[in-house]
Structure 1
Amino acid sequence: MAQDGYYISQGNEEKGPFTIEELMQMGIDLDTLVLSPGADDWQRAADMPEFFNYFEANGIYFPTEDNLGGFGWRLMAYIADTFIMSYPITFLRPAGFATVYNRAMEGNATVDDLVFMLKFNFTSFLVVALYHTICEFSPLQGSIGKKMFRLLVVDAEGRKLSFGRALLRNLGKFVSGLVIMIGYLAVLWDDRKQAWHDKWANTYVLIKNR
């Protein structure tokens, strides 16, 4: 039956045959079950290479060994985002920040000074996390820095992140950066180039080739 075209399964009904162009015009999704010409088994459309360009055109980018974003590209995006966010963070600095900071640098900080700095650093972290969350949830699929270096963040299925998953990923950066940034450096040796916060949120950073 499958020799003369593609068939799809919808519920308990099999439909076809269709050409690959007809299936694309029908708007198949990742989970559509497809029987390709000459095949014996049904496959999810997401697992069939002939549909990769179609899904990419619809904003779905599958993580592969060839498009995983490496540490160098991610570091450059991080530096760019740090520069971008330095301006709004500056406006968040409360009165007396410079005085407290100078005492801390001189080793004369009081307990109140330390609490003051912790509150400011925590607020800054939340602002930066919210910035990245909103950007990753948006059509940008990544921060402005990532956009500059053709990087984007997707889930394991190649889809744009939900707000909840993006928030989980970016709150997880707190733990990734706790011990000499080891959670970020994990990208260097991880087979899927995932930082700790990527693993927890089941996300991937990809680089677009075009």
Structure 2
Amino acid sequence: MEVWIGRDGERHGPYTEADIRQWLASGEVSPADLGWYEGLADWQPLSVLFPQVQPETSDAPRVPPLPTTNASAPQDVASFWKRLGAWIIDYLILLLPTALIAVSMGAPAAFEHFMSQVENGIAPMVAMADYSRVVRPAAMWSLLVGFLYYAFFECSKWQATPGKLALGMRVTDMDGQRLGFARSALRNAVRLANAITALIPLVSYLTVAWTARHQGLHDMLAKTLVLNGRASDTGNPSSPPGSSNTFSA
């Protein structure tokens, strides 16, 4: 369970239940501080949410600065193979719009023309150059559709493409928060590199296998993570009662 803390008209977090119990016991947060978690109707004092936790001493001082990150709790990053599985699902989904674009923009006819050129003795390199020139617009449109698919889904309330959602993952910033569209677009701009070379996306994804937080090159550039757990299970997509910067006691 992840809990938000309200203090001085602002909300902080979310933090893990274990962190809050530790901070209550040490006096780092006050039992009078307000808390909220997904499914709770309204803010409640931490003393109500965690009645069994008592400060180590009755006069334990309240430390003014509330921890701003959840650094003490390791983030549950998704593995390379799980992310690969999600990529395959998304690839299969994108096959339909890609095929429709290709057909509507004459790719099948271009391929037939390519084969007839080869059969008639035209040099394969020349025939391939003609074919590539004809299908390039369809390829660019398909690439744009893929870019928008990833960029919009990963900054949506689900924080995940259908593939990631199916396998129980979400995309976040380094603090575990939902991405804005600009960061999501930056993260997925690497997909546009397919228009230049197939090597860059390959290297980008291979780094997921050996980096400490399973980050691809696109994750590192945009400062994002792919974490286990759907956004609907974490409390991130729906804000606590009150506005995004304040809470209502």
Normalising by structure 2, we get a TM-score of 0.60
Q: Secondary structure at the match of 1:186?
A: helix
Paired residues in the alignment total 179
* Paired AA for residue 212 in structure 2: D
Deviations 1:145-198 (A, max 9, x none): 000000110011211110111111111233487317111111011112111111
Relative to structure 1, the CA distance from residue 175 to residue 191 in structure 2 (aligned partners, 3 Å threshold; closer, same or farther) is: farther
User: Could you tell me how far apart the structure 2 residues matched to 1:44 and 1:162 are?
Assistant: 23
Tell me what 1:179 maps to: 199
User: CA offset at residue 41 of structure 1?
Assistant: 7.1
User: Could you tell me how far apart the structure 1 residues matched to 2:188 and 2:71 are?
Assistant: 31
Task: Decide whether the 8 Å contact of 1:100 with 1:109 is kept in 2.
Answer: no
Relative to structure 1, the CA distance from residue 98 to residue 194 in structure 2 (aligned partners, 3 Å threshold; closer, same or farther) is: same
Correspondences of 1:48-63 after superposition (within 5 Å): none
User: CA offset at residue 95 of structure 1?
Assistant: 4.2
Tell me what 1:99 maps to: 109
User: CA offset at residue 39 of structure 1?
Assistant: 7.0
Task: Decide whether the 8 Å contact of 1:141 with 1:153 is kept in 2.
Answer: yes
User: CA offset at residue 96 of structure 1?
Assistant: 2.7
Relative to structure 1, the CA distance from residue 47 to residue 116 in structure 2 (aligned partners, 3 Å threshold; closer, same or farther) is: same
User: CA offset at residue 48 of structure 1?
Assistant: 7.0
Tell me what 1:79 maps to: 88
User: Could you tell me how far apart the structure 1 residues matched to 2:198 and 2:107 are?
Assistant: 23
Q: Secondary structure at the match of 1:206?
A: strand
Tell me what 2:40 maps to: none
Relative to structure 1, the CA distance from residue 189 to residue 8 in structure 2 (aligned partners, 3 Å threshold; closer, same or farther) is: same
Is 1:207 the equivalent of 2:237? no
Deviates more, 1:89-98 or 1:197-206: 89-98
Flag the structure with larger Rg.
2
Deviations 1:107-158 (A, max 9, x none): 3525342222232222111101101111111111010000000011001121
Tell me what 1:157 maps to: 175
User: CA offset at residue 38 of structure 1?
Assistant: 5.6
Normalising by structure 1, we get a TM-score of 0.70
User: Could you tell me how far apart the structure 2 residues matched to 1:112 and 1:81 are?
Assistant: 30
User: Could you tell me how far apart the structure 1 residues matched to 2:71 and 2:199 are?
Assistant: 41
Tell me what 2:165 maps to: 147
* Paired AA for residue 76 in structure 1: G
Task: Decide whether the 8 Å contact of 1:172 with 1:200 is kept in 2.
Answer: no
* Runs of 5+ unmatched residues, structure 2: 11-28, 37-42, 46-54, 119-123, 234-249
